Structure 1
Amino acid sequence: MIMGMVMLMTFGLVDTFFVSLLGTDELAAISFTFPVTFTVISLNIGLGIGTSATIARYLGAGNAHLAREFGSGALMLSFLLVGLLAVIGFFSIEPVFRLLGASESQLVHIRDYMHIWYVAGIFLALPMVGNAVLRASGDTKTPSAVMAAGGLINAILDPLLIFGWGPFPALGIQGAALATMIAWIAGCVYILYLLVQRGLILPRLLTLSEFRMTSRAVLKIGLPAAGANMLTPVANGVLTAIVATYGAEAVATWGVGNRLESIACIVVLALSMSLPPFISQNFGAGRIDRVKEGYMLCMRFVMLWQFGIFLLLWLASPLIAMTFAEEQRVADLIQLFLMIVPLGYGLQGIIILTNSSFNAMHKPMSALLLSLLRLFVFFVPISYLGSRLYALPGMFVAGILANVLTALVAFLWFKRLLEEEHQLQQAQEVAG
């Protein structure tokens, strides 16, 4: 999963690198798109969580036919919902990005990028949910290979289409979006072929009654999970608007920092996709002791691992800053970001893994509430206060404080849930 996630996250990072070579305005423009594009991606992630939890349950119960039916229904549902969101986004580009603080000159580049990206987003839905079906069946290698192949295609096409190398036209920022779309179309075709070949979905469209039945079950977990994931880009949009008050250089820094964060937290993100099946299976088997053991092991590991990542980013910050910035002001801000913000990545890992563990325990509303607390009770208000008191450095430090408070709440909350489940299990054993 780590290898696949690394390649998936390189979509944004590779796009950012090549677009940064076009200039600061283009880099700022693609930075503005991050919270919006991640909203669409978050919907796919949520639907994938609901899909995986539901299908794994039926496969575990030995009901392969219902599992296939739910796989087909989840794919149809994701295509319809993401398609609807993409259409709405396509026709609301200007008001949304003006609200985020984009200038008229940046809007020109944003329109060029997002007009293509929204079409591409529809083709992302099927491989992401299809990968969730594969993971539910116990296969994590194939989804990783699909993500890796997509990232490789994107990385190869980016410079060709952005700068017009060889016979290709120079499309600028549009080329970055087009490269992404081609990569996702390739993944979409392959994953559908694979799911049908393995018999993990039905080789037909569902009837209306079948679609309603499967959609209800997937959305029961998927909607709260999608909502929790979609809160992150909403909060990021608010923070981007705050950062925009400090100029295009600050927005460019924020965009680079967000994409680097995706890579720096790749192990956490991979664990957030591999820990839930482990928790769900043991929870279903009544092994709360193993759920607790796996959860605590992951908490200790991510704190140590992410502290090592922080040290690495601190040491490499001058080189990274020079790589992603042509202007000295942008380079200085990127270096400042990397010397402060990554200190909180371990705490952020605790929050992310606890959130996914709530979903695995079939507590999607608890996961949603935790996301609300993290983003709109702690992260956004404290970051805003930090920016008002000490400008951008204050905002960076405030984010760490917000992660400390949220991680403490998340950890204690999940431990309490495990104790309650253990007591319930003991009561059922006595009654039985």
Structure 2
Amino acid sequence: MSAVQSAKIDMTQGDIRQILTRMTIPMLFGMITLMSFNLVDTFFISMLGTHELAAVSFTFPVTFTVISLAIGLSIGTSALIAKAHGSGDSAMARADGLAALWLSAYLVAILSLLGYLGMEPLFRLMGATDDTLPFIHDYMSWWFAGSVLLITPMIGNAVLRAAGDTKTPSLMMASSGVINAILDPILIFGWGPIPAMGVEGASIASVISWAVSFSLILYLIVVRRKLVDGGHQSPAEFIRISRRILQIGLPAAGANMLTPLAMAILTAVMASYGAHAVAAFGVGARIESIACLVVLALSMTLPPFVSQNLGGCQLGRVEAGYQLCIRFVLKWQFAVYLLLALTAPFIAHLFSTEPAVERLICWFIWILPLGYGLQGVVILTNSSLNALHLPMRALALSVVRLFVFYVPIAWLGGKLFGVLGVYGGALSANVFIALIAYLWFQRSLNGLQQKEAVDGKAV
């Protein structure tokens, strides 16, 4: 058996629950480690002061925009490679992976350069003031410079997941988080001959951890596992494969970029209530990333399962896997909400000692996480539509979610009831869009099943 064949896990047969559980648990472990250390990062920055914490909160929509492009490209990469593995074409999978690595590096480098050149007007547009702009500049200068080092491991991990390996990506994420957490206090506050760098130190710590992951992932997928071809394709082949990746990747990236755009709008709304509201909202966004870890892990392991079964013409298994995940996340996220609601005061005090910020963090926790299960339905539906090679439907769902429901209802709630109205409006929006997402997926899957039946009769 070749190295490529031994590296691939067949998801077109066997018990669905066991397959998804076996893939999700290691991914969840890696994400818990990574996200926990991201919260540690926020904790250390919060010790510098409210303006520093607010500055990093302003950066979240911008950094997530760049990351969203990579997420979209990784979705396109995973969908193509998993389908190729499902149909037994390993050579195509290796070529697709190589083109994806170069394509993501080119596009992210261009986007980061534009972001760096337009940094000040961009953040002023979002509501940043002279109190926070110097800290934003310190943080984002290093972040933009090292962005390609962050993106390449994301694409490499998508290659591994498409082959059914979620253990290695989880270890990669955990290692990156550990390195970042160790370096954070050293570079932020100084240690021995290393001077205190403040917010800038937090960004440098991240770039160093990305550089380690960058080196490891390339060695693993190109040299050791041989899941990706080495070198660079001819321009004609690179363009041909890139078009296939972008057919899924661009709509997926667009859908992902809508989230930071909506976050930027809500951050601007929060800025009208002062730095305390922005700081609390930034902390809340990071708490959300921890609270939704299981959903995020499933959103990475369900798509390869869906795409491999699509390639193997097993749409019945696709529907069974989707339904299993939806039922689970609704129960799980409600249990998470109860835990967060009970510990809200402790969590708030951990991130801030200013009463105004603490109070707003508590209200964020008491209101928004109640809808995280419904939000999970939307996230899993979106990722499954991309895995079914229906990216435009996933994009349309994201547009409806964010700009027909989420932002307008949250904005209206803010106008009527202030900061708490924003929180309540966001919760209400998740109720409506979850039902739409579920029905949208069922209709799409039924259409594919009918097409498969017609094609089968024709043959």
TM-score by length of 2: 0.92
**Aligned residues, how many?**
432
C-alpha deviation, 1:11, in angstroms: 5.0
SS of corresponding position for 1:104: coil
1:5 equivalent in structure 2: 31
Matched residue, 1:145: 171
- Are the equivalent residues in 1 in contact too, given 2:29–2:170 (CA < 8 A)? yes
Q: Distance in 1 between matches of 2:361 and 2:355?
A: 10
Write out aligned runs for 1:157-172 (5 A). 157-172=183-198
Counterpart in the other structure of 1:428:
455
Aligned match of 1:328: 355
Q: Which amino acid aligns with 2:157?
A: N
The structure 2 residue matched to 1:285, chosen from 312, 319, 324, is 312
Letter matched to residue 257 of structure 1: G
Name 1:45's counterpart in structure 2: 71
CA-CA distance at 1:389 after TM superposition: 0.3
317-326 vs 64-73, greater mean Cα deviation: 64-73
Match of 1:230 in 2: 257
Secondary structure of 1:167's partner?
coil
Aligned to 1:100: 126
**Distance in 2, Cα, partners of 1:428 & 1:63:** 21
Q: Deviation string for 1:376-429 (max 9, x for gaps)? A: 110000000000000011111111110011111101111112222233333334
Unaligned ranges ≥5, structure 2: 1-26
Say yes or no: does 1:305 pair with 2:332: yes
Displacement of 1:35: 0.4
Say yes or no: does 1:127 pair with 2:153: yes
1:241-390 equivalent positions in 2, closer than 5 A = 241-390=268-417
Q: Percent identity?
A: 57
Q: Distance in 2 between matches of 1:70 and 1:334?
A: 44
CA distance in 1, matches of 2:228, 2:384: 26
65 and 424 in structure 1: CA distance in 2 versus 1, 3 angstrom threshold:
closer
Q: Quick one: distance in 1 between partners of 2:105 and 2:454?
A: 44
Q: CA deviation at 1:205?
A: 1.9
Deviates more, 1:43-52 or 1:2-11: 2-11
How far apart, CA to CA, are the structure 2 residues paired with 1:8 and 1:53?
24
Residues 101-133 of structure 1: CA distance to partner in whole angstroms, max 9, x if unpaired?
Answer: 011110010001000111121211111001111
In the alignment, which of 74, 91, 113 is matched to residue 87 of structure 1? Answer: 113
TM-score using structure 1 length: 0.98
Describe the SS at the equivalent of 2:146.
helix
Displacement of 1:91 in angstroms is 0.8
Partner of 1:14: 40
Q: Give the SS at the match of 1:170.
A: coil
Q: Residue 180 of structure 1 is aligned with which of 198, 203, 206? A: 206
Letter in 1 for 2:454: A
Q: 1:201 aligns with which of 223, 228, 232?
A: 228
Q: Does 2:409 align with 1:394?
A: no
Instruction: Find the partner of 1:216 among 243, 262, 265.
Output: 243
Contact 1:56 / 1:137 at 8 angstroms: preserved in 2?
yes
Residue 8 of structure 2 aligns with which residue? none
Distance 2:86 2:448 in 1: 21
Tell me the CA shift for residue 295 of structure 1: 0.9
Which deviations, in whole Å up to 9, do the C-alpha atoms of 1:266-312 show, x marking residues without a partner? 00000001111111222333322221111111111111100011100
Q: CA deviation at 1:157?
A: 0.4
Q: Which residue does 2:80 correspond to in 1?
A: 54
Residue 383 of structure 2 contacts residue 394 of structure 2 at CA under 8 Å; is this kept in 1? yes
SS in 2 for 1:105: coil
Paired AA for residue 128 in structure 2? A
Query: Does the 8 Å CA contact 2:83/2:310 hold for their aligned counterparts?
Result: no
Bigger mean CA deviation after superposition, 196-205 or 113-122:
196-205
Gap change, CA 1:213 and 1:410, over 3 Å in 2: same
Which residue of structure 1 lines up, in the alignment, with residue 18 of structure 2? none
How far apart are residue 362 of structure 1 and its match? 0.7
Are the aligned partners of 1:42 and 1:230 in contact in 2 as well (CA < 8 Å)?
Answer: yes
Partner of 2:230, secondary structure, is coil
- Aligned partners of 1:2 and 1:270 also within 8 Å: yes
Moved more, 58-67 or 180-189: 58-67
Q: Is the 8 A contact 1:7 1:150 kept in 2?
A: no
Distance 1:301 1:28 in 2: 35
- Shift, 1:204, TM fit: 1.2
Mapped to 2, the partners of 1:294 and 1:346 lie a distance apart of 17
How far apart in 2 are the matches of 1:13 and 1:100?
A: 23
Are the counterparts in 2 of residues 11 and 180 from structure 1 also a CA contact under 8 Å?
no
Contact 1:113/1:174, CA 8 A, preserved across alignment: yes
Which has the larger displacement, 272-281 or 75-84? Answer: 272-281
Query: Does residue 32 of the first structure (1) align with residue 58 of the second (2)?
Result: yes
Residue 17 of structure 2 aligns with which residue? Answer: none
